[in-house]
C-alpha cells in the first residue's frame, strides 16, 4: 500500500507510549484536528487555537492552503464540520508550544533519516522543514 494514498493512516507514538495520534493522509500531507493537536502536544485546545491563529495572523501560512473542513460524527451521533490542519500547520504549532511532545513530534516528522518518518512528505519547495 502506498503511504500517500488518500485515507491512509500513520500513527505517531511517543517513546514512553503516553501519546498516540493517528494522522490521516490526503493530498500527500497529514491532517489533524484541533483536538488531535491538543492531545499530541499536551496543551489545552485554547493554547493550540491561539498558536494556529498567530500562524495565520503573522502570515506564516495561508489558511486557504492548509485548512480543510471535514464532516465528523461525534459520540452523540451528530455530524459536525471540523477544521483539519495539514502538516505545515502541525509543525508550526509544534515549534510554538515549546513542549517536550512538540520537540518529539518535530523530530519524528522532519528527520529524513528517521525510519518512523520516512513516509511523511517533505516540503514541496525543496527547503528543509521548519
Q: pLDDT tens for residues 9-34?
A: 455 556 666 655 666 656 677 888 99
Residue whose cell numbers read 492552503: 65
Cell of 90: 502541525
CA 60 to chain centre: 16
Record the pTM. Answer: 0.70
Contact 60, 48 (CB under 8 A): no
What is 33-81 written as a DSSP string? EHHHHHHHHT--HHHHHHHHHHHHHTTSS-HHHHEEEEEEE-TTS-EEE
Mean pLDDT of the region 81-92: 92
Question: What is the spatial distance between Cα 118 and Cα 72, in angstroms, rounded to a whole number?
Answer: 29
pLDDT category at 69 given cuts 50, 70, 90 is very high
Question: What is the spatial distance between Cα 3 and Cα 73, in angstroms, rounded to a whole number?
Answer: 25
Residue whose cell numbers read 503516553: 18
Amino acid at each position: 500500500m502506498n503511504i500517500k494514498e488518500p485515507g491512509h493512516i500513520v500513527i505517531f507514538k511517543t517513546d514512553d507510549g503516553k501519546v498516540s495520534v493517528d494522522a490521516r493522509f490526503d493530498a500527500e500531507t497529514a491532517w489533524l484536528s484541533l483536538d488531535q493537536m491538543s492531545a499530541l502536544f499536551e496543551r489545552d485546545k485554547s493554547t493550540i487555537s491561539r498558536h494556529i491563529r498567530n500562524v495565520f495572523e503573522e502570515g506564516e501560512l495561508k489558511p486557504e492552503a492548509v485548512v480543510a473542513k471535514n464532516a465528523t460524527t461525534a459520540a452523540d451521533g451528530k455530524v459536525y464540520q471540523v477544521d483539519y490542519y495539514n502538516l505545515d500547520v502541525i509543525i508550526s504549532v509544534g515549534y510554538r508550544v515549546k513542549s517536550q511532545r512538540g520537540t518529539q513530534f518535530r523530530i519524528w516528522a522532519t528527520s529524513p533519516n528517521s525510519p518512523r518518518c520516512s513516509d511523511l512528505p517533505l516540503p514541496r519547495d525543496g527547503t528543509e522543514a521548519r
